[in-house]
Structure 1
């Protein structure tokens, strides 16, 4: 296959699920011999070291700091750059960056790359007001109407996308969140009984306040239970105060940001996703790939997609302290040191599978243009 030149646009390398997936795809495509250019507002951030060192990173000049209207500025800067630096296609990783897709559509046809836009979070969010949903749908149609390829991560979102965009070709490409091989060997591990792991940005979206309240009930049943939360964010002071107020300082530890949660998945007997809403929940896939039992809220349509062939735990309603604590207690009470391999069911989420599906879609467009 001919080598491609691929552009990727991200605001920066700060923590974010869409940015992490973009970095993984960039590294994979580079390993396959393609030329990768990442255009960004600035090249700083916690995840910068995750990017392969032989990938070209072009920051905007002047740099663009994340803030109000900064995505619009990034979009205009990306349009200017890719108008004169030609690439075969541009990958736009998620809803936050959709303004970039819109600006790239304005590049002259002789220079315009194939535009690949990903839907990274829910189209229909719970509790969103009807008028707000109508505005969202109009905005989505406006920003993505001329994207050559629109990608959803599950069939329901693809169906919703087709309805809003008045098209019938939204692709479903499962989130390429996993390495080419299982992250943990399929053998017995000496993980600790009554140990629970959670991970994510410390924000309202992730529902850690609900998890901490639920864990108070868990500790009442299992005083030896321990919860480690891997993540950093603006809600950390409030969450630490909540832990103190519930007298859980000896049971809950906020670890802070970690680049790789694999060692933590090996050490803990249960993984919990307490989110109020998710696009797909990459960390849930990582936990299943590691053979963990899981408890998750019903925070995304992808939950049914993931668990359809992988019954590896419990699904509970969002923001339900009682249901969440009951599920955690149930899983801890049936602890087994034997890991269960879900590698076969997880194969569709591996980086090589998703990465190749993106390339196949682009080559199909290129062929149709010849």
Structure 2
């Protein structure tokens, strides 16, 4: 793997400058699921429809999201899901000579740093999106200091930073020490309805969770309080991940009716049918599932896992926000919405013009 060693690879020169981002390169570790990857695929398809060439470098190009990759988007598979394999992005950029590199989320910023270092002055502009919490309550004192130090390195390799809410912009200014002019606020594009996408069999009435079965999501909190609720009601969690077996064991021990159907291509139908959507995460960036549920007129109960939560659940008529560690408050909020005869009015999702706003950002950055 020659591209891992030696000096800068270089991929651009003065003659390569164009009017706008005609070729955009982005990357992801797998297509197994996840909000970051799904948003990337929506953006990539929209950019391609606008006549831009879009190339995605994917570690493992199989998985449930493979069917959501538009035919107009080029996919370069690396044949492995190992995160370190994404260091090949630098070599692919050197070969393909894109005008812009898009880092699709916080998980991937170390690859952006590597690419900037490997390509040196020949590196095209890199725009990175903040998709996760900048301040991590799950970190201890040492990790908190190290994490902040890492975030403050981002201005050295990201030419612009995209956040999805004004609250996130304020956090980026404070934590990353970024000047406001290097930050763009662009929400994720809304997920389209896939009316032909099948839904798993669902009970007549249920509490719904949507997201990876990962420690960050803390679904164990939701399973734990289910026996305390005034109504015995099934819990459905759509998603896949390493916590499946532990959640199943916990539910069996507590006598909780837990359904884990796995990944669902379009969860909006399940959201529309849910009595309430619950999000129990320890931390999030801008949790899109809250807005998606509210767009279907479904109330939400969420932990205070991100500054953007209060921007999404902007009124008590839409749902409840509880402290992360307050199990009693979580149970009380769920009981309230399970017993309420009134559901929220559907709230339109933001971001219909997000793909176009990204392209303007890319084009302006290249023009500058």
Partner of 2:157: 146
C-alpha displacement of 1:295:
0.9
> Aligned to 1:36, what secondary structure does the other structure show?
strand
TM-score normalized by structure 2? 0.85
> Aligned to 1:151, what secondary structure does the other structure show?
strand
CA distance in 1, matches of 2:205, 2:67: 33
Q: 1:258 to 1:176 in 2, by over 3 A?
A: same
CA distance in 2, matches of 1:165, 1:209: 32
Partner of 1:58: 76
Is 1:94–1:121's contact at 8 Å kept on the other side of the alignment? yes
Runs of 5+ unmatched residues, structure 1: 185-190
Is 2:169–2:185's contact at 8 Å kept on the other side of the alignment? no
> Aligned to 2:206, what secondary structure does the other structure show?
strand
Is 1:173–1:357's contact at 8 Å kept on the other side of the alignment? no
Partner of 1:341: 346
Instruction: Out of 77-86 and 1-10, give the one that drifted further.
Output: 1-10
Is 1:193–1:332's contact at 8 Å kept on the other side of the alignment? no
Is 2:34–2:211's contact at 8 Å kept on the other side of the alignment? no
Aligned: 1:236 with 2:244: yes
C-alpha displacement of 1:144:
4.3
> Aligned to 1:266, what secondary structure does the other structure show?
helix
CA distance in 2, matches of 1:193, 1:326: 22
Can you list the C-alpha shifts for 1:214-266, whole angstroms capped at 9, x where unaligned? 11111xx223x2321112211111111111111223xx322222111122112
Aligned: 1:202 with 2:213: yes
C-alpha displacement of 1:328:
0.8
C-alpha displacement of 1:57:
0.4
CA distance in 2, matches of 1:163, 1:334: 40
C-alpha displacement of 1:16:
2.0
Q: 1:240 to 1:128 in 2, by over 3 A?
A: same
Aligned: 1:364 with 2:364: yes
Q: 1:154 to 1:3 in 2, by over 3 A?
A: closer
> Aligned to 1:8, what secondary structure does the other structure show?
strand
Q: How does 1:71-220 map to 2 (within 5 A)?
A: 71=84, 73-75=85-87, 77-106=88-117, 107-109=119-121, 111-168=122-179, 169-179=181-191, 194-218=205-229
Is 1:278–1:300's contact at 8 Å kept on the other side of the alignment? yes
Partner of 1:272: 278
C-alpha displacement of 1:164:
4.5
Partner of 1:222: 231
> Aligned to 2:278, what secondary structure does the other structure show?
strand
C-alpha displacement of 1:367:
2.2
> Aligned to 1:38, what secondary structure does the other structure show?
strand
> Aligned to 1:325, what secondary structure does the other structure show?
helix
CA distance in 1, matches of 2:279, 2:30: 26
> Aligned to 2:275, what secondary structure does the other structure show?
strand
Q: 1:161 to 1:339 in 2, by over 3 A?
A: closer
Is 2:58–2:75's contact at 8 Å kept on the other side of the alignment? yes
Q: 1:311 to 1:140 in 2, by over 3 A?
A: same
TM-score normalized by structure 1? 0.85
**Pairs aligned (count):** 342
Partner of 1:27: 45
CA distance in 1, matches of 2:326, 2:189: 28
CA RMSD for the aligned pairs? 2.5
